[in-house]
Amino acid sequence: MPTHHTLNPSPSTVHWGYWDAALSPVLRIQSGDTVTVTSISGGVTRMPEDKSLVRAEHMEVVENVKPEIGQHILTGPIWVEGAEAGDTLEVRIQDIKLADSWGHNFIRVLSGALPEEFPYTRCIIIPIDQEAKTAELPWGKTLKCNPFFGNFGVAPPPEYGRISSKEPREHGGNLDNKELTAGSTVYFPIWTEGALFSAGDGHGAQGDGEVCLTALETGLTGTFEFILYKNTGLKFPRAETETHLISMGLNPDLDDAATQALREMISWVTEISDLTAEDVYRLCSLAGDLHVTQIVDGNKGIHCILEKALF
């Protein structure tokens, strides 16, 4: 029978700023199990002045764990029994809840889409109404939240060693794709034994592009169901909702990211339908949508969305 697990952040259950296939797992599960994972976001300089608003486990982590390479605090990793390189991990996102009554948005000098025009570092705290799922913007308007995990996936190939949590790659990581919210499913190619899934970088809301560097960064609680598929040969993450397929491209050049996302979609649809590659190419031109995922993470992102009913 599938088992439900809970994984909360603590100094012994997070890794801050990096991905690494050599990490020891903090939880072991079977294919078919579900895990409720809670994340935290930001060091002490990105917290409210009123520390009573900050969860105790968040304070415990920032007081006892130091960031390495990058800035994202990731809960995990989770070992999936039987997972090996060449397999695929299906991650069904069953639910995502806002875990904090506040979030932050951060502009950092020499970063973001317009660094020359905003040559300074500034962090603001944004109040969140968890029940209403809204955020109060500094100029008095209310923003509807659409929570999702910006940074999640499996361990990278072991030969990469310890890598920054900033750049999204073939293992997932900092995808910052706002389509990957509750109800969606993500497929990650597995690169090492156990898969080693982690999640963090909770976003309460984000626009496509994430242009100033950050979204509404906040803690989240997500429930994931994990399904293992053997020997699939998948090489790059892909996702779907009830109605649409979502392919992804990542590259320092947006044009190259777009062509990768398009090629990934063509390959995927030809695998699961009777359409030819030319058919799918035409269909993507007629009805597919290319969105700029983010332009601030080194490897920029484009995702292609295509309605399933059309094939």
Q: Do 265 and 211 share a structural domain?
A: no
Do residues 138 and 171 lie in contact, with contact meaning Cβ atoms separated by under 8 Å?
Answer: no
* 157 and 296, same domain (yes or no): no
Out of 210, 233, 256, a domain closes at 233
Which residues have a Cβ under 8 Å from the Cβ of 120 and sit 6 or more positions away?
107, 109
In a domain, 34, yes or no: yes
Identify whether 111 is part of a domain: no
Domain count for the chain, please give it: 2
pLDDT score recorded for residue 274 = 97
Give the pLDDT score at 222: 98
- Predicted local distance difference test score (pLDDT) of residue 113: 98
Q: What is the CATH classification number for the domain harbouring 79?
A: 2.60.120.580
HSE-CB of 243 using CA atoms within 13 angstroms: 3
Q: Has residue 25 been placed in a domain?
A: yes
Report which DSSP code applies to 155: P
Q: What is the pLDDT of residue 201?
A: 98
Does 300 lie in the same domain as 168?
Answer: no
* Cross-strand pairs, 200: 74, 151
Residue 135 lies in a domain: no
Residue 61: domain span? 4-100+147-233
Q: What is the DSSP letter of 86?
A: T
State the pLDDT at residue 111: 97
Do 222 and 254 belong to one domain? no
Taking alpha carbons only, the member of 285, 241, 244, 234 closest to residue 262 is 285
Query: Do residues 91 and 215 share a domain?
Result: yes
Question: Looking at 233, 265, 293, which one is the last position of a domain?
Answer: 233
**Cross-strand pairs, 221:** 38, 97
Which pLDDT belongs to residue 70? 96
Residue 209 domain flag? yes
Distances (CA, A) of 96 to 132, 148, 181: 14, 7, 7
> For tokens 């930001």, what's the residue?
42
Number of residues assigned to the chain: 311
CATH code, domain with 301: 3.10.28.20
What pLDDT was estimated at residue 129?
98
Tell whether 81 and 223 lie within a shared domain. Answer: yes
In a domain, 72, yes or no: yes
Q: What H or E segment, with its residue span, contains residue 279?
A: helix 277-287
pTM for the structure as a whole: 0.97
**Last residue in a domain, options 233, 264, 297:** 233
Give the DSSP H/E element, type plus range, for residue 129: strand 122-129
95 and 164: one domain?
Answer: yes
Same domain, 194 and 277: no
Instruction: For residues 192 and 289, state if they share a domain.
Output: no
Q: Does residue 120 form part of some domain?
A: no
56 and 173 housed in the same domain: yes
Chain centroid to Cα 80, Å, comes to 19
Residues 211 and 295 placed together within one structural domain of the fold: no
115 falls within a domain: no
Q: Which residues contact 118 (CB under 8 A, 6 or more apart)?
A: 107, 112, 212
Paired with 37 in beta bridges are 7, 222
Q: Are 72 and 213 within 8 A, CB to CB?
A: no
Residue-level pLDDT, tens digit, the chain, 311 residues: 899 999 999 999 999 999 999 999 999 999 999 999 999 999 999 999 999 999 999 999 999 999 999 999 999 999 999 999 999 999 999 999 999 999 999 999 999 999 999 999 999 999 999 999 999 999 999 999 999 999 999 999 999 999 999 999 999 999 999 999 999 999 999 999 999 999 999 999 999 999 999 999 999 999 999 999 999 999 999 999 999 999 999 999 999 999 999 999 999 999 999 999 999 999 999 999 999 999 999 999 999 999 999 99
152 and 298, same domain (yes or no) = no
